[in-house]
Amino acid sequence: MSLPDTYRLLYDLPADPGQSDLVPVVVTLADLLKGDSMCARLARYFMERRGAWIDGRDLQEVGGVYAWRSRVSDLRKAPWHLDIQNLQRQETAECPICDGDGYGTSLSMNCARCHGRGKVTFTRSLYRLA
């Protein structure tokens, strides 16, 4: 199902709707979820995992590498109004370049990624639909 263009314009209605030739239509969340847009796909993904924290990297698979953050933002606004929460946390992991030994390509040099520490810290972004 695709939404009529008039629907998307509803939020730009002038103060006096009588002056507009836009026709208000009622679209439910169920209707929106039937769509085939990237937002609809992402919304379905959240709905199927309601309450669970989802790694941003998984959302990237569903919502598109370059636009998934914008789509999450869109889903928080009209017409979706999804209560999507976000948290970030610092995590530490073994360096993926040197496999934790701290050495670079030459054993006399520190790994360029972890600077010889063998560990890297990174920020993980998690999202959930409340």
Task: Report how far residue 130's alpha carbon sits from residue 128's, in angstroms, rounded to the nearest whole number.
Answer: 6
Measured at the CA of 82, the angle between CA 79 and CA 88, to 5 degrees, comes to 135
Residue 67 is inside which H or E element, if any? none
Name the residue nearer to Zn ion (CB basis): 56 or 118.
Answer: 118
Distance of closest approach, residue 109 Cβ to Zn ion, in angstroms: 11
> Is residue 45 a contact partner of residue 88, using CB atoms and an 8 Å limit?
no
Name the residue nearer to Zn ion (CB basis): 24 or 96.
Answer: 96
Distance of closest approach, residue 123 Cβ to Zn ion, in angstroms: 18
Distance of closest approach, residue 89 Cβ to Zn ion, in angstroms: 21
Residues that bind Zn ion (CB under 5 A): 95, 97-98, 111, 113-114
